[in-house]
Amino acid sequence: MHMPIPKAELHVHIEGTLEPELAFDLARRNGITLPYSEVEELRAAYSFSDLQSFLNLYYELMDVLRTEEDFRDLTLAYLARAASQGVRHAEIFFDPQAHTSRGVPFEVVLEGITSALKTSEDEYGVSTALILCFLRDRPASEAMETLVAARPHLEHLSAVGLDSAEVGHPPSKFTEVFDAAAQLGLRRVAHAGEEGPPEYIREALDLLGAERIDHGIRCLDDPDLVTRLAESRTPLTVCPFSNVRLRAVDTLDVHPLPALMEAGLLVTINSDDPSYFGGHVHDNFLGVQEHLGLSNEDLRSLARNSFTASFLSEERRSALI
């Protein structure tokens, strides 16, 4: 097999990298009984009708993550897999509220993840950044409490993001906490236009100061917004397998990636939640190549975009491109 093209991954939820096998191992280690008797039965549940139907399972399965060691093992497994997919730099989301809300302390989550990340460049040749996501379907006050909990640990965090159930939870709900994050020197990104309307993308830009839009595919419903995103070179972190599995797009053959590229947008390809959506980031590259007829030059351009759209320093970026 060819060496996968070197790339950055900018849209991956660490909790979405939990493979069924590891879920069962962690359940056993923590004395938890999962409502599935075996790996195959769990895998069979990976059939989704929309974002919410996925999130229900995603949050349910997280219950196996309890200790620092669990978060470290999860993160190490992702890094090893990412390296084999050609990833040289990963900007990784985590969802602290999904853990603190079930009694796992913020520090346990952060320490577990960062203890793995600090070995990443030496062990796997993957530089990393960590992005703290707020859950948009929970109150804005809770997001602010999460930012306060993060404040003593800013050296481990590059940015804040916004994820979970989109429709009915517009970015405007989080203006205050994103302002506070900016004041702390954090960069800002947000999921927008995955299932929600283009207006949510505009809000993410105008009210949250988002520098990148996660997903963003529904910008195509608003030509003026497409022009704005293209002219401002605002990156979109597109996740093709995710869009198909969550039925934002009917099939890979009709994915709007080519339209986004033709519109001159700074598009990147990412895995989102690879263990749930049938592939890691390079698998997504191969999938879009096969189903959308992209050339090798198109793939090289998408890989280049991933470094351009990253938060890497100029120095490491030029070393990697």
Which stretches of the chain bind ligand ADE, using CB under 6 A?
Answer: 13, 16, 51, 58, 163-164, 191, 194, 242, 272-273
CA torsion angle 46 48 53 54 (round to 10): 50
Distance in Å, CB of 246 to ligand ADE, minimum: 7
Distance in Å, CB of 163 to Zn ion, minimum: 5
Residue 291, annotated ligand binder? no
Question: Residue 299 in 3-state DSSP?
Answer: helix
Residue 191, annotated ligand binder? yes
Q: With respect to Zn ion, which residue has the nearer C-beta, 195 or 272?
A: 272
Q: With respect to ligand ADE, which residue has the nearer C-beta, 73 or 163?
A: 163
Q: With respect to Zn ion, which residue has the nearer C-beta, 15 or 272?
A: 272
Per rule CB under 5 A, is residue 9 in the interface with Zn ion? no
Distance in Å, CB of 234 to ligand ADE, minimum: 18
Per CB under 5 A, contacts with Zn ion among 233-272 are 272
Query: What number of CA atoms fall less than 13 Å from residue 304's CA on the CB side?
Result: 6
Q: Are the CB atoms for 241 and 48 separated by under 8 Å?
A: no
304: its two tokens: 């280049």
Q: Which does 174 bind (CB under 5 to 8 A by kind): ligand ADE, Zn ion, none?
A: none
Q: With respect to Zn ion, which residue has the nearer C-beta, 68 or 272?
A: 272
- Give the number of other CB atoms < 10 A from CB of residue 280: 24
Amino acid at 32: I
Query: Is 41 among the catalytic positions?
Result: no
Q: Which does 91 bind (CB under 5 to 8 A by kind): ligand ADE, Zn ion, none?
A: none
Catalytic: which of 194, 195, 199, 203? 194
Distance in Å, CB of 295 to ligand ADE, minimum: 28
Long-range CB contacts for residues 117-126, cutoff 8 Å, separation at least 24:
117/75, 117/79, 117/92, 117/156, 119/76, 120/79, 120/90, 123/79, 124/79, 124/80, 124/82, 124/83, 125/83, 125/88, 126/79, 126/82, 126/83, 126/87, 126/88, 126/89, 126/90
Angle at 177 between CA 176 and CA 182, to 5 degrees: 100
Per rule CB under 5 A, is residue 15 in the interface with Zn ion? no
Q: Which does 51 bind (CB under 5 to 8 A by kind): Zn ion, ligand ADE, none?
A: ligand ADE
CA pair distance 212, 284, nearest whole angstrom:
20
Active site (catalytic) residues: 194
Residues forming contacts to Zn ion in the complex (CB under 5 A) are 272
Binding site listing: 11, 13, 191, 272-273
